[in-house]
Chains A and B, each alone.
Chain A
Amino acid sequence: MVEVEIAKSMAEEVKLFKTWSTPFGLRVVWALKLKGIPYEAIDEDLSNKSALLLQYNPVYKKVPVLVHNGKPISESLVILEYIDETWKQNPLLPQDPLEKARERFWAKFNDEKLLQSIWGVFAKEGKEREEAMAASMENLKFVEEELKGKKFFGGEKIGLADITFGWLANLICVFEEVTGLKMIDERFPLLLAWIQEFSQHPIIKDAGPPHDKLVIKYQALYEKFHPAK
């Protein structure tokens, strides 16, 4: 059955509009690779967006955008669910509806709470940064709790929630290096272990942008947010 699925996908056209560094685009790369779906990657320059990108995502004009046989889908979590429903091998979501709900809940938590709070630590100053740090610690505690007794958020295998939290595996160290602030320390042993497991996964390992290049990018961004006085 898997051969038929792969043969079918070979005849299909899958394009992914992203940038070299976007963690949201990287999620989609991971999902496509996990399922063995061939695709064409188009790296955009966001300061000079292609006409195609604007045509495929007129609402947000952002990456990532997945285009499957000419039909575009944007918003990374919407894309991930689409991929899981269209290509059934190596499912990202479990069968059980309650477990599915759990994965979706945590994916949302990452995007709406955790990401925002950690970004606040990176981008803000003074009292706002302090508040963002406190919120980040609270949020990380919840995530740590969720990992109890599990290797991945998805259990034994990587799933939707792991892919969504995946930016922690390659970006937190960049943030910590650039800001000089430690965020995921020995208070979060399960998260640290998860970061190891996730980063070492054969699909995840070499799929992301190089660490050094990310440091340069975020260092420059950091300096913009915190100009030297």
Chain B
Amino acid sequence: MADEVKLFGMWASPYSLRVELALKLKGIPYEYIEEDLSNKSSLLLKYNPVHQKIPVLVHNGKPVAESSVILEYIDEIWRDNPVLPQDPYDRAMARFWAKFIDEKIQPTARNANLAEEKEREQAVEECCQQLKMLENELQGKPFFGGDTMGYLDIAALVIAFWFEVVREVVGLDLITEERFPILCKWIGKLQDIDVINECRPPKEKHVNYVRARYEAAKAAASN
């Protein structure tokens, strides 16, 4: 019986991209279902009743939710081209830094982007400190995963592409060549990878989308 793999995702979500990229890197055929988050499908609600969010992977009818959980699942079922390293300590480090991106870098970046004039400098500084710690993990390697992309590269794509879009909308350049030469070099490499370009959000559409959300967030914050 052939494997049936479906991915419920959303074109502008970095979490959705993580799963898509992992599937593509491993050459796993899948059906992609685009969700309208303002009008969630009954299937999505059935497959992820707890969070009612994307991404959800449905493998032979069985759902798996939460992008980090899905990535580990994918790696365990389809063992070619592993996304996580083999060594337990290296795996721990990959998991640690992926968590750090979601729990530290993303929120501090959001704060920096939404900050009022007088708080902006400190908010930017805080975000840059976190980014520096992450950049140190790239020392002497083309990718976080070593010679090829791995789990942490996949998790860090949000920094590569979403930050660039937000910069266009907000005007705040967090990842400058001057401050983060190694991160910038890594981002440059990603731009040339076909599988990434196949699934990353289309630039202009993405900028418009983020601009609309940013305006809404600013309006809400000032109320």
Q: Report which A residues bind B (CB closer than 8 A).
A: 59, 68, 71, 73-75, 78-79, 81-82, 85-86, 97-98, 100-101, 104-105, 108-109, 142
User: Which B residues lie at the A interface, using CB under 8 A?
Assistant: 50, 59, 62, 64-66, 68-70, 72-73, 76-77, 88-89, 91-92, 95-96, 99-100, 133
**Dominant SS at the B interface?**
helix
Given contacts A97-B76, A100-B72, A105-B65, contact A59 B91 (CB under 8 A): no
Task: A85 to B76: give the CA distance in the assembly, Å.
Answer: 13
| Nearest-Cβ distance from residue B135 to partner chain A, whole angstroms | 13
**Are B95 and A108 touching (Cβ within 8 A)?**
no
- A179–B88 alpha-carbon span in the complex (Å): 42
Q: Is the interface of A mostly helix, strand, loop or mixed?
A: helix
Given contacts A73-B96, A101-B64, contact A82 B133 (CB under 8 A): no
- Measured CB to CB, the closest approach of chain A to B53, in angstroms, equals 12
A74 to B76, CA, bound (A): 24
Query: Given that A78-B96, A97-B73, A104-B69 are contacting pairs, would A85 and B91 also be in contact in the complex, using a CB cutoff of 8 Å?
Result: yes
Distance of A128 from chain B, by nearest CB (Å):
17
Shortest CB distance A154–B (Å): 16
- B50 and A59 contact, CB distance less than 8 A: no
Instruction: State whether A78 touches B99 (Cβ < 8 A).
Output: yes
Q: How far is the CA of A98 from the CA of B59 in the complex (A)?
A: 9
Across the interface, which residues of B come within 8 angstroms of A101, CB to CB?
A: 64, 69-70, 72-73
Q: What chain B residues lie within 8 Å of A78 (beta carbons)?
A: 92, 95-96, 99
Q: Which residue of chain B has the shortest Cβ distance to A108 in the bound complex? A: B66
Q: A100-B76, A108-B66 are in contact. Are A82 and B100 (CB under 8 A)?
A: no
* Cβ 8 A contact of A98, one of B50, B73, B95: B73
CB of B72 within 8 A of CB of A71, answer: no
Closest 5 CB pairs of A and B: A85-B88, A97-B76, A82-B92, A101-B73, A104-B69
Instruction: Out of A59, A82, A142, name the residue touching B88 (CB < 8 Å).
Output: A82
Asked if residues B73 and A81 are in contact (CB atoms below 8 Å), the reply is: no
